[in-house]
Amino acid sequence: MEEKGKENGVAAMAACYQGFDPAAYLQYNYTPPRADFERKDSIVPWKLACLHRAFTEGDVGGELLVDIGSGPTLYQVLSGCEVFNQVLLTDFLEVNRQELRRWLRDEEGCNLDWTPYLQHVCKLEGRRPSAWTEKAAKLRQVITDILPIDVHRPQPLAPDALPSAGADCLVSCFCLESVSPDLPAFTRALGHIGRLLRTGGHLLLVGALGESYYFGGPGVKIPVVPLNEAQVCASLKESGFTLIRLEVYTLNQDMRVGVDDVTGVFFAKARKD
């Protein structure tokens, strides 16, 4: 009966996502004030700084970076594409994979202009902002595929998707807590994605703190596992990771724009035992 309950909870979460609207989600979360590159206290610049630092400290490297649950966004691999020769994007929803493919193929109809993001990361790297075109070309060069994924399956990707040794690094942003029905499911999903990573490889995990719901489109209210810092640390340990660093961002009042009830964001850098 317990297994049936787990399956029902996961199925209910999958049903919630049938109305997910990439254009609305991007508008809610990836435009000002949450993505204001003139403000150091804006959420997106904080996330980009955390990722830039993690990818450039010298201990993260190898051949293959896998982004777990990309959604319709690219910001999470803008620093990593300079370190890894291959980048795999993944998502459960075809509408999100379509959004990513449109950008990858440089087609019309993308729902967000990623130019300011590319320019900002170029600045973080000490390059001129006009180098964003080079970074965009590099990103398109190293993204080798955009694959379906289900983090609730013990083998989240197709068996032949990765080399037998696994990926060298995983990045995952706002995925696991927003597709899991409860904390045990979140921890199990963390263990599942850990199987995709080689021993000694790194996980860069970004997620919401204290969030019980978010809107994935007009009227599409999606439940979230409300996490605290201690739970994140415990789940990582239980899933076979050693925490290297945990950073926390607390939302200012003007970042609370009515599309969720998030109170903070965490960034965790961890290594697979």
Residues in binding site: 25, 30, 69-70, 75, 91, 96, 150-151
- Other CB atoms within a 10 A radius of the CB of residue 220 amount to 16
Annotated binding site for S-adenosyl-L-methionine: 25, 30, 69-70, 75, 91, 96, 150-151
- For residue 204 the two structure tokens come to 């860069």
Amino acid at position 96, single letter: N
What are the φ and ψ backbone dihedral angles of 143, each rounded to 5 degrees? -70, 110
Asked if 181 and 152 count as a contact pair (C-beta separation under 8 A), the reply is no
Burial tier of 244 (Cβ tally within 10 Å: 0-12, 13-18, 19+): middle
Parallel, antiparallel, or unpaired: how do β-strands 167-173 and 64-68 relate? parallel
150: helix, strand or coil: coil
Tell me which amino acid residue 73 is. Answer: T
Q: Identify the CA nearest to 186 among candidates 116, 127, 233, 141.
A: 233
